Amino acid sequence: MRALLVIFIAIFSVVSSKAQILQPAKLTAGNSVTSAKVGDEIDLIFKAQIDPQWYIYSLGFDEDCGPIPMIITLDKHPSFELVGSVVAINDKAKHDKIFDCDVRIFEGTGEFRQKIKILSNDLVLKGTYEGQVCSETEGKCVLFDGDLAFGKIAVTGKNITSSKAQISVDNKTVDNSKEIATVIDTTVASVVPAKTFSTNITGPILDESLVNQEAQQQSFWLFFALAFVAGLAALLTPCVFPMIPMTVSFFTGQGNSKFKALMYGFFIIAIYTLIGAALAPLMGPETANHLSTEWIPNLIFFAVFIVFGLSFLGLFEITLPSSVVNAADRQADKGGLIGIFFMAFTIVLVSFSCTGPIVGSILVSSAGGEFIKPIVGMFGFSLAFAIPFTLFAFFPGWLSSLPKSGGWLNSVKVVLGFLEIALAFKFLSIADQAFHWGILDREVNIAIWIVIGLLIGAYLMRWFLLPGDTGKDAEDKRIGIPRLSLAIITFTFVVYLIPGMWGAPLKALAGYLPPLYTHDFNLLKVTQSSNETCDEPKYADFLHLPHGLKGYFDYKQALACARQQNKPLFIDFTGHGCTNCREMEAVVWSDPQVLERLQNDYVIVALYVDDKTELPESEWYTSTYDNKVKKTIGKQNADLQITNLKNNAQPFYVLLGTDEKVLVAPYGYDKSVEDFVKFLDEGKEKFSTKAQ
């Protein structure tokens, strides 16, 4: 068993490791022919290779919507002229819920085509591309660009003169010769700079240990622990608990009973873990795409949890066909390891009516985009489930210390049913927030939890009975100390929830409740101090911060103000087309706890990595990362993030001291208000410590 755990940890470590610089998409150029004549019209083909669970934006949608469409630019040359504009081949429509507009995308692979007319036999083709690739699974958007290299085309025939001069600019055709001159200067310079620019720029200094710390935080141990607890809870159900002494008696008195008991526990773990491995592809990243954005999967999961909960309450029973159970039981009569395996398989099948809803809940909860997560959940559940069978087989004398079966087992099942129903509203909340239905605002969710908590407490106090409560335990109104203790804990939780009806943040439940901005009865007003800037922010006429926050859009200007005010700097690497950035601002930044800290404790700078505003030539520089000239606000901000912080995904939040050293591990896409508040508080504390 220890060896199995070591193997599992090793697999988990490999899967969890992630590179910081993402390159999920690339565009390559090709030709439809290898030979042609002057005057022929040919297609240039541009093929995109996109990593699984990522997509690129195509063409043919409103550019003012937000996301960035693909831009393919060909350097002008007298050897050809454009015929029409770039065309996307077989892209598909998608509704962007954050920007509330329709876009077009490619997944897996994509293809664009541009028709040209050949004007001379010395055909010269060069170009560049720029686009945006996003992943709802990863919660990230990345800009990608590069140069286009074309294959050789053998051209024959007499040169002809173009009837018009053209060049593709952002996939539009320009026919005015005066406009062309300006365009040529800017596009060609991006490939062959006319001059060399300074590479000396300042920027954040990242301690590599902070990167390691960030990676260590991305683990499945919490989910493993929750699944382990669920396995322990499954042992206390009426279908499983009575099976422990019956199963242990099978090994007692047999030769080599301890080895058989060990293999019995191993097979239980193996069966459940294999179930998780088999379902992992179904519960992986593709499911997560729908889970985070679509209403149908979330409503299905909501219904599944409700059905499981009602089953535990006694409305009906979920069972497997008896023929399946009987067939496995007959195989268990065989000797050797095969018999032990089928005995373990039989206990899995027999206990399904009680463990099925719990296992199903674990698998549904693991549909978050990680291939390993269902395996982690099932391993944790089965480990807890198998330990008692194995231990009691090793030490059969312990059986006398077990409590007798009775009505208390059904009580455990009922409490689990109430918890299943309460957790079901988490999935309904996801769909409600994504589509702004307004049917499950924060106070409604809290009210439902209060009612369910009161019902659990009342049931534990025996104030009412359910169909499964029969026998002496149902007639006896006396309750034991353990049951009374659970009732006290439940009522205490209800009391904790009540202030949330009037706007209390309930930080312990921040990740499970709808965000505070959905709360209609927020009577607890948060006093917010106004943060002042040191001078007029550059680019403030077209760049903005959410929620009325004041700050900067230029790194150097913001750093100067942070030094003047002696405050740490909050850097927000964002983008106009970054859907996850908007979601973080709407869900996390809107929380009064976060707003208060951003306003009072930090100087804020939002660095847009996709802004196309071209800077004066004196501010251009050549990147030390890719040796390309960075001319625009977006290109320089993206280069700052990649070169200094070894990261190119957005959203990406960095806390900086006045010495430009990163204070704590950077923060990515994570909608937990509690975690974001902790991130801000740790940065402020680290800054104060360094100042002292």
Q: What number of CA atoms fall less than 13 Å from residue 639's CA on the CB side? A: 22
The CA–CA distances, whole Å, from 265 to 292, 386, 387, 397, 414 equal 37, 5, 7, 18, 27
Calculate what percentage of the chain has a pLDDT beyond 70.
Answer: 66
| Identical fold, 25-189 and 546-691 | no
Q: How confident is the model over 217-236, as a mean pLDDT?
A: 70
pLDDT, residue 516, reads: 57
* Type of residue found at 573: F
The CA–CA distances, whole Å, from 143 to 12, 520, 574, 685 equal 29, 38, 11, 33
Query: Cα separation of 515 and 499, whole Å?
Result: 15
Fold category of 546-691 in CATH: Glutaredoxin (3.40.30)
**Could you report the per-residue pLDDT of 501-554, keeping only the tens digit for each?**
887 767 567 556 765 556 666 665 444 445 678 889 999 888 888 877 889 999
Examine residue 568 and say whether the peptide bond preceding it is cis (omega within 30 degrees of 0). no
Main-chain dihedrals φ then ψ at residue 520, nearest 5 degrees: -90, -25
Consecutive H or E run containing 8:
helix 2-16
Fold category of 25-189 in CATH: Immunoglobulin-like (2.60.40)
Query: In 10 A of CB 412, how many CB atoms?
Result: 19
The CA–CA distances, whole Å, from 491 to 456, 458, 483, 487, 488 equal 9, 9, 12, 6, 5
Beta bridge partners of 42: 116
Residue ranges covered by each domain of the chain: 25-189, 546-691
Sign of the torsion formed by the C-alpha atoms of 467, 472, 473 and 479: positive
Query: Cα separation of 501 and 508, whole Å?
Result: 15
Answer yes or no: are the C-beta atoms of 221 and 346 closer than 8 Å: no
pLDDT, residue 597, reads: 92
Q: Is residue 344 pLDDT above 80, yes or no? A: no
HEC profile for 284-309? CHHHHHHHHHCHHHHHHHHHHHHHHH
Query: In 10 A of CB 37, how many CB atoms?
Result: 12
* Type of residue found at 221: W
Q: Is residue 487 pLDDT above 70, yes or no? A: yes
Q: Over the chain, what is the mean pLDDT? A: 74
Of 78-87, 397-406, 631-640, 657-666, least confident by mean pLDDT is 397-406
pLDDT, residue 529, reads: 45
**Could you report the per-residue pLDDT of 495-507, keeping only the tens digit for each?**
999 988 887 767 5
Consecutive H or E run containing 330:
helix 322-332
Which one, of 269, 226, 222, 220, lies nearest residue 372 by Cα? Answer: 220
pLDDT, residue 655, reads: 94
**DSSP conformation letters of 150-179:** PPP-EEES-----SS--EEETTEEE--HHH
Query: Can you read off the two tokens belonging to residue 538?
Result: 């550059």
- Please tell me the pTM assigned to this model: 0.45
Q: Is residue 193 pLDDT above 50, yes or no? A: no
Which one, of 579, 687, 623, 470, lies nearest residue 140 by Cα? Answer: 579
Consecutive H or E run containing 324:
helix 322-332
pLDDT, residue 390, reads: 75
Separation of CA 80 from chain center = 46
Answer yes or no: are the C-beta atoms of 133 and 55 closer than 8 Å: yes
Calculate what percentage of the chain has a pLDDT beyond 90.
Answer: 14
Contacts of 447 (CB under 8 A, 6+ apart): 501
